[in-house]
Structure 1
């Protein structure tokens, strides 16, 4: 049996609309995943957030977005509120998934202090990752995005990234080989040095622990800025991503999302960690 949320109301996904006409959404951006190679778009970023429309609150996934191709004025940050036109992602069975019309994006606000974010975000916190997984096993189109408060964070595993596969590199090369509409050169997407996983125990009494890959944009961006050799960078990454789970923060929760082709595989897409 799937355990009910321990910390907030259940957020059951609604069915997608029956038509393909664009819908205007207001979204609080909570997740920007690290970019990955794409055949159609060169590289893509999965973005997720909380829909703020009064008639349809809940989780929403916006994909694909080539973030580096966005004009400077349209590039957005986590905890920005944006307005954007979207259509249902018909090839994706996850009901939270929508295809954005990127050119329609408008930034409205940035919720800078945590006090402005908490009333919107924290009602979505729940305690049982085991329950989310069981719901997907029972019904694959079940909720594919969640905010999980771990009972105990056990460790962060850091391993060298193997580099892009031959297929991924071919996608990058094909994209870089094209000239964009302004005649500018495109720089190839570099593979990160390291991959990471959170190991934690959720609040389900029968939890045997979870090990979920870290796909957070900040995890990749940070390792490209850190000084020192590989061992130094790996140690600093581990320290940073353990520190955000420390008692210095009033609440710690993981934004998690699954894969369309493997719905039982969830990853950590970001960390929610307001300071005390």
Structure 2
């Protein structure tokens, strides 16, 4: 018998959204992370984002209101399920090129300086959402993915575009375009406190940039991505929002790249936060 979840209303600022993955129940889902209005990190999963109707589709840096409950199959304290049919969209925090309103919320997350320590704390259950502020960006590595095509099992999940699946979720709609498998992986190499570090990027935005560039510029898509995520961003203050996986809690990836023009520094970021580790 399924556990009865205890939902409660919450107001959440969306800070990260990962590229969707195939799902046996919802065809495809994505993981969303953010922070509640009282400063608590929160992960929302699963969300069948592309199946949501337009009035439920939230953007990064947008406030939403919805009932959430502690996950019944994920013991990480930040992990919650959401009644996505009851999502109410709120205001977006600041224009796209203005970060002074956003940085104070990023710095409410636990701050880490070393991926090794973050991995250790993820494994022991201390932390599953955090941020790191890059000291210097060394390079963006783009490499062919180990599995560059959908598996047979994933294709079967993605092919199940039937309204019958949504009978108990009236606010979901049919997906008109099958989820594209991104055949490349993206990694940032960077330093913090003089130590070289490396992490994989799974932010929806870099995957969407690949999809657009590979279609519009098939002969130079890689240069286009390098131009933005390395050549441009190396001159920005980079705040990397990090999240781990339920199955592999020691493994943290970049779920949101926050590139802040250096002239837009916030006093909140310069303070020694009580969460610094």
CA distance in 2, matches of 1:21, 1:96: 15
Compared CA separation, residues 177 and 20, structure 1 to 2 (3 A): closer
Compared CA separation, residues 187 and 177, structure 1 to 2 (3 A): farther
With the length of structure 1 as denominator, give the TM-score of the two structures.
0.81
Q: How big is the shift at 1:193?
A: 4.1
CA distance in 2, matches of 1:83, 1:176: 28
CA distance in 2, matches of 1:135, 1:70: 34
Residue from 237, 250, 257 that aligns with 2:225: 237
Contact 1:130/1:202 (CA < 8 Å) preserved in 2?
A: no
| Pairwise CA RMSD | 2.3
Contact 2:51/2:175 (CA < 8 Å) preserved in 1?
A: no
Q: How big is the shift at 1:178?
A: 5.2
Contact 1:129/1:202 (CA < 8 Å) preserved in 2?
A: no
Q: How big is the shift at 1:30?
A: 0.4
Contact 2:13/2:37 (CA < 8 Å) preserved in 1?
A: yes
Aligned match of 2:271: none
The answer to whether residue 138 in structure 2 is matched with residue 149 in structure 1 is no
SS of the residue 1:116 aligns to: coil
Q: How big is the shift at 1:223?
A: 1.4
CA distance in 2, matches of 1:259, 1:210: 19
Q: Once structures 1 and 2 are overlaid, which stretch shifts more, 235-244 or 261-270?
A: 235-244
Q: How big is the shift at 1:91?
A: 0.8
Aligned match of 1:45: 30
SS of the residue 2:117 aligns to: helix
Q: How big is the shift at 1:147?
A: 0.7
The answer to whether residue 88 in structure 2 is matched with residue 106 in structure 1 is yes
Which residues in structure 2 correspond to 1:1-276 (within 5 Å)?
20-53=5-38, 57-112=39-94, 113-124=98-109, 125-137=111-123, 139=124, 141-161=125-145, 162-173=148-159, 175-176=160-161, 186-203=176-193, 207=195, 209-226=196-213, 227-229=216-218, 231-243=219-231, 245-247=233-235, 249=236, 251-275=237-261, 276=263
Post-superposition Cα deviations, 1:205-243, rounded to whole Å, max 9, x if no partner, equal 7x4x333221110011111212222x5112211222114
Compared CA separation, residues 155 and 185, structure 1 to 2 (3 A): closer
Q: Once structures 1 and 2 are overlaid, which stretch shifts more, 65-74 or 180-189?
A: 180-189
SS of the residue 1:252 aligns to: strand
Moved over 3 A (4+): 123-126, 177-186
Aligned match of 2:272: none
Q: How big is the shift at 1:164?
A: 1.2
Post-superposition Cα deviations, 1:62-104, rounded to whole Å, max 9, x if no partner, equal 0011111111111111000111101111211211000111011
Post-superposition Cα deviations, 1:146-167, rounded to whole Å, max 9, x if no partner, equal 1111233221111234111222
Compared CA separation, residues 106 and 185, structure 1 to 2 (3 A): closer
SS of the residue 1:274 aligns to: strand
Q: How big is the shift at 1:264?
A: 0.7
Give unmatched runs, 5+ long, in structure 1: 1-18
Q: How big is the shift at 1:270?
A: 1.1
